[in-house]
């Protein structure tokens, strides 16, 4: 970000995405959240605009955009409907994993379809007995000739109900802790895979689910890490994903604050627009400042990622800070709307429920603080040496 801003091209891209999001995505967002279905037609439209394949390599039909540009798309789309806001992200992350670790044939099988929005992926890491402590997973893969037989359960998976493939860490050596984890691509139409929806308070558009894996036979070529080297591979993917989740949360916050400002100008109490009360306008000023500070942290972190620079601590800072900023901003935006904001008919209450999900998805605030402090004070000063 030369001169602490976006390039002219990126500013123009933001305007284009903004127009598309306002015209196509914002209408019907509330209804879609209630239906909790993947809006295939809308995804197709977004893909036609190049938004789904934004970070996919050109040779697979994408436009190979940098992460800052992807962040702009996530921010603008999330303002309209965060359920679609993350569309550009997973195809980009899957591209990195598949182009680094999979055969050309596998890349061709999935990546062009992902860029077209016809194939969706998910990360299936969490299990019923462990979320934060990934090394403790129990799902097992046992080698049987040129296949693995997989048994276990993954839960809490965003997109789990409709994704076509999952990237999943699975134990190939249950005795070896983190060093016994290998990484797999798991097609979710294989015999032995079944799913069950989680009835969430928010995140409905993302259709979280549990994946049951019962004697799933997976060809060896779907193992994408060396045996026992999967833990660090998945951890690497999270760094940039965390920034996008953070930006999506800020998109929800900004949309809510913008609506609160408009409402506060027209709503009158005690014979004047409520925005004239400093109890209201100072809240607006405070949240606008928090959101702006959080955005800058996110874009700087994406800039570091684009430059190939270390950004582990920064991405954890984003993922801790932004959901808190978002929840607080949305909460106050709801209160500025008075009883109207509390109604199911208003988008702000939905956004509050969604934003709370961001406080946990992809690692809780406590886990993010462990990552930050590990880097600042050194691993040897943490309570656990894992
Ligand atoms: C909206 C949403 C989307 C999600 N999407 C996905 C997904 O796509 N794929 C997927 O695999 N998972 C997903 N998850 C699961 C998510 O990654 C986990 O919820 C998260 O990692 C926490 O794990 P847990 O829920 O098992 O909590 P636990 O690990 O049981 O933790 C419970 C509490 O204890 C605290 N805690 C745990 N260990 C420590 C520690 N060492 N120090 C301090 N505090 C600690 C945590 O901060 C938390 O508050 C999603 C969750 C949500 C809510």
Distances from the Cα of 164 to the Cα of 58, 59, 109, 161, angstroms: 22, 21, 12, 9
- Burial class from Cβ neighbours inside 10 Å (0-12, 13-18, 19+) for residue 309 reads exposed
For residues 36-42, average pLDDT = 87
For residues 93-108, average pLDDT = 93
Among residues 219, 132, 230, the alpha carbon closest in space to that of 181 is found at 230
Q: Which residues pair with 269 in a beta bridge?
A: 272
- Residue 3 pLDDT > 60, yes or no? no
For residues 41-52, average pLDDT = 96
232 vs 194, residue with greater confidence: 194
Query: How remote is the CA of residue 374 from the centroid of ligand 1, in Å?
Result: 19
Whether ligand 1 lies within 6 angstroms of the CB of 357 is answered as: yes
- Residue 1 pLDDT > 80, yes or no? no
Tell me which CATH homologous superfamily contains domain 122-228. Butyryl-CoA Dehydrogenase, subunit A, domain 2 (2.40.110.10)
The total number of residues shown for the chain amounts to 386
pTM of the model: 0.96
What digits encode the pLDDT tens for the residues 303-331?
999 999 999 999 999 999 999 999 999 99
Among residues 368, 330, 364, the alpha carbon closest in space to that of 350 is found at 330
**Domain spans, the chain:** 2-118, 122-228, 232-381
Percent of the chain with pLDDT over 70: 98
Whether ligand 1 lies within 6 angstroms of the CB of 132 is answered as: yes
Whether ligand 1 lies within 6 angstroms of the CB of 198 is answered as: no
User: Fold for domain 232-381?
Assistant: Butyryl-CoA Dehydrogenase, subunit A; domain 3 (1.20.140)
Query: How remote is the CA of residue 144 from the centroid of ligand 1, in Å?
Result: 33
The residue nearest atom 48 of ligand 1, judged by CA position, is 364
Q: How far apart are CA 82 and CA 66, in angstroms?
A: 21
For residues 192-207, average pLDDT = 92
What digits encode the pLDDT tens for the residues 266-307?
999 999 999 999 999 999 999 999 999 999 999 999 999 999
- Residue 215 pLDDT > 90, yes or no? yes
What digits encode the pLDDT tens for the residues 350-362?
999 999 999 999 9
Q: How far apart are CA 3 and CA 182, in angstroms?
A: 42
Beta strands in the chain (DSSP E): 121-123, 140-144, 147-157, 165-171, 181-187, 193-197, 209-219, 268-269, 272-273
Report the nearest atom of ligand 1 relative to the CA of 125.
Answer: 11
CATH class of 2-118: mainly alpha
Backbone conformation region of residue 136, classed left if phi is above 0, alpha if psi is from -120 to 50, else beta:
alpha
Confidence band, pLDDT 50/70/90 cuts, at residue 34: confident
């Amino acid at each position: 970000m030369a001169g602490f801003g976006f390039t002219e091209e990126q500013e123009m891209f933001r305007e284009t995405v903004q127009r598309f999001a306002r015209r196509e995505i914002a209408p019907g967002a509330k209804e879609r959240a209630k239906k909790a279905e993947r809006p295939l037609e809308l995804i197709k439209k977004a893909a036609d605009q190049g938004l789904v394949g934004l970070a996919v390599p050109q040779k697979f039909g994408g436009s190979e955009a940098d992460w800052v540009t992807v962040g702009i798309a996530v921010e603008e789309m999330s303002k309209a409907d965060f359920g679609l806001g993350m569309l550009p992200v997973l195809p980009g992350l899957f591209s990195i994993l598949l182009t680094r670790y999979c055969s050309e044939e596998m890349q061709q099988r999935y990546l062009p379809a992902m860029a077209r929005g016809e194939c969706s992926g998910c990360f299936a890491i969490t299990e019923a007995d462990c979320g934060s402590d990934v090394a403790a997973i129990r799902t097992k893969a046992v080698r049987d000739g040129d296949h693995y037989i997989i048994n276990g359960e993954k839960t809490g998976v965003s997109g789990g109900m409709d994704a076509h493939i999952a990237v999943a860490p699975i134990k190939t050596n249950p005795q070896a802790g983190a060093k016994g984890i290998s990484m797999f691509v798991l097609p979710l139409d294989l015999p032995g895979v079944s799913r069950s929806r989680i009835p969430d308070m928010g995140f409905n558009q993302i259709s979280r689910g549990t994946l049951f894996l019962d004697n799933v036979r997976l060809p060896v070529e779907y193992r994408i890490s060396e045996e026992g080297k999967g833990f660090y591979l998945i951890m690497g993917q999270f760094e940039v994903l965390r920034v996008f989740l953070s930006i999506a949360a800020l998109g929800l916050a900004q949309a809510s604050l913008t609506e609160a400002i408009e409402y506060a100008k027209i709503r009158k109490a005690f014979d004047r627009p409520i925005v004239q009360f400093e109890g209201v306008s100072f809240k607006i000023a405070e949240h606008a400042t928090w959101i702006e500070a959080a955005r800058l942290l996110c874009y700087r972190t994406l800039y570091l990622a684009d430059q190939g620079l270390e950004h582990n601590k920064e991405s954890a800072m984003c993922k801790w800070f932004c959901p808190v900023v978002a929840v607080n901003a949305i909460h106050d935006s709801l209160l500025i709307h008075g009883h109207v904001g509390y109604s199911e008919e208003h988008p702000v209450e939905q956004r509050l429920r969604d934003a709370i999900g961001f406080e946990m998805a992809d690692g809780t605030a406590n886990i993010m603080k462990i990552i930050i402090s590990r880097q600042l004070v050194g691993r040897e000063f943490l309570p656990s040496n894992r």
